[in-house]
Amino acid sequence: MDPLMKTSGSMAALVILTATVAALSLGPSFAHVLEAMPRLAVWSPELWREATVFNGQFQLFAPVGAVLDIAAILCPAVLAFLIWGDRPASTFALAAAVLYAAALATWFAWVRPANNLLATWQPGPIPADFEEIRLRWETGHMAVAALKLGGFVSIALSMASATRRAAG
């Protein structure tokens, strides 16, 4: 029998939900990393501004991403609480919650100020501070993705250590 299934059905559902939400939160952030090189090195300022600011490419990132980012903090935190006596699984789950919270804090400190400036841009000449804002926006997303990847790996380690203990 699969060790995960030896746990209660609700615990198994929480573990699966935690991993799914964490993956869905990481996905868009990782996509930003994959897009960054051409956006920084190849795209003209006009193309970057048009795609990023004026044409709604990222319009669903805020409403969907916000829910996923909060859930990616809460789910592993709840999991850590429920399995607190199971070390190191609970420690990894707590680390995941902390890393996803750090990713969200990083987004607010690094990316949001750039987003606030982007929201003021109008068609016409490229703003004088374009390079600074673009670099802040792109590198901020890279930092967020790195923290989320650490959180996702922590969830995987939590699941692996709990599964190994249940099997042994």
Amino acid at 155: I
Distance CA 163, CA 11 (A): 12
Report which of 157, 149, 154, 151 is spatially closest to residue 29, judged by C-alpha positions.
Answer: 149
Classify residue 128 as exposed, middle or buried by CB count within 10 Å of its CB (0-12, 13-18, 19+).
Answer: exposed
Distance CA 23, CA 15 (A): 12
Q: Supply 123's token pair.
A: 């068609």
pLDDT in tens, 88-102: 999 999 999 999 999
Number of domains in the chain: 1
Domain that holds residue 126: 3-167
Q: What is the pLDDT of residue 65?
A: 94
pLDDT in tens, 116-135: 999 999 999 999 999 999 99
C-alpha distances in angstroms, 151 versus 25, 69, 99, 139, 148?
10, 11, 5, 19, 5
Report which of 112, 153, 154, 144 is spatially closest to residue 31, judged by C-alpha positions.
Answer: 144
The average pLDDT across 72-97 equals: 95
Q: What is the pLDDT of residue 3?
A: 47
In our burial notation (b when 16+ CB lie closer than 10 A, e otherwise), range 3-30 reads: eeeebeeeeeebbeebbebbbbbbebbb
**End-to-end CA gap in the chain:** 12
